[in-house]
């Protein structure tokens, strides 16, 4: 009877030695034009304390040059940590101050769960896919004003009111 034993001092045959997996970037951020006046920022990988600053810089730069819409697509994100949530909240505030609408696309549990647990999904305009996002730039007519920007109708001069009776 032959019994096979493993001797840890013997090197493994080359076919059993597995090379390390190729290095992948932790975070990839790519932007493209969705329409003449709208951009989409596609984020993939891990958004954590090591990579959040890269995402922040990219989003801030896009907010400065974006038209009325900047869609942030998080469908490729494998991990959304606290630092990434902070970047999204900050970017949403900066976008609102600049008059840029920033809808977020998220359909994976890795993104939806942290958004829901922190209630950031109540603050952000979250959609399931890019095609569900209704762009302001595709709507016809002038940009709608925020309630604080709306003007009251002009009143006729007081002298014309007294002459009308």
pLDDT of 144-156, one tens digit each?
444 444 444 444 4
Tell me if 50 is assigned to some domain: yes
The parent domain of residue 86 ranges over: 27-130
Residue 44 lies in a domain: yes
pTM: 0.70
Q: Quick check: is 12 in a domain?
A: no
CATH of the domain at 42: 3.30.750.24
Task: With respect to residue 22, please indicate whether it lies within any of the assigned structural domains.
Answer: no
146 in a structural domain: no
Distance separating alpha carbons of residues 150 and 146, to the nearest angstrom: 6
Per the domain annotation, does 159 fall within a domain? no
Check: CB of residue 40 under 8 Å from CB of residue 69. no
Q: Report how many domains make up the chain.
A: 1
- Mean pLDDT value across residues 104-123: 97
């Amino acid at each position: 009877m032959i019994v096979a034993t493993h001797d840890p001092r013997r090197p493994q045959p080359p076919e059993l030695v597995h090379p390390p997996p190729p290095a992948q970037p932790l975070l990839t951020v790519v932007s493209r034009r969705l329409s003449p006046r709208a951009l989409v920022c596609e984020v993939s990988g891990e958004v954590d304390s090591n990579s959040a600053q890269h995402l922040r810089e990219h989003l801030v730069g896009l907010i400065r040059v974006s038209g009325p819409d900047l869609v942030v697509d998080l469908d490729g994100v494998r991990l959304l940590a606290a630092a990434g949530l902070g970047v999204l909240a900050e970017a949403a505030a900066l976008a609102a101050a600049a008059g840029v609408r920033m809808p977020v696309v998220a359909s994976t549990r890795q993104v939806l769960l942290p958004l829901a647990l922190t209630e950031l999904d109540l603050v952000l305009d979250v959609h399931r896919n890019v095609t569900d996002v209704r762009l302001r730039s595709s709507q016809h007519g002038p940009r709608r004003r925020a309630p604080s920007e709306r003007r009251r109708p002009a009143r006729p001069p007081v002298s014309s009111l007294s002459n009308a009776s």
